Amino acid sequence: MLDQVIKIIVNKLMFMCQSIPIIPEVLHLTYIQNQGAAFGLFFGQRTILIAIGIMVIMLMIYYHYLIGVHDPTQIALALILGGSVGNITDRILRGSVVDYVDFRVWPIFNLADVMINLGVLFIIFYLFKRKKRRLKSTRHYSK
């Protein structure tokens, strides 16, 4: 929701490619419309990106019910789901995704992208932690 509010404000108050320094040469608010996915993948393939987005959303909803409400990865699923809904809303309504966070040394992105990446990192962290626990318990039982 916050991501969509920021995108509406950026879309209404800024012109394309306008950049407003927040911390000069470090962090800028820069308005672009991204017709691809991360790093320009699938540029101009709106239909494919919408289909992928819908599949991700359906998969997150499926896993939500599959793993149970007390599973720690529910937080990660919520982050990925929220970010995916934010970006797919842009693709459907605007034909592209509004990006605005510009660290000058990295491709411009938005809050939905941050949510998706945090969710994925959380899942990776959780899987490594779970695997480490299993290895410890296996060693404990094999003694």
In single-letter form, the type of residue at position 22 comes to I
Catalytic residue check, 99: yes
The answer to whether the CB of 112 falls within 8 A of the CB of 88 is: no
Q: Can you tell me the distance from the alpha carbon of 101 to that of 44, in angstroms, rounded to the nearest whole number?
A: 21
Q: Which of 3, 90, 99, 102 is catalytic?
A: 99
Residue 117, beta-bridge partner list: none
Q: Looking at 3, 90, 102, 113, which residue is catalytic?
A: 113
Please say if 113 is a catalytic residue: yes
Q: CA 27, CA 96: separation in Å to the nearest integer?
A: 23
Q: Count CA atoms closer than 13 A to 76's CA, side-chain side.
A: 17
C-beta separation of 99 from 87 below 8 A: no
Residues tagged active-site = 99, 113
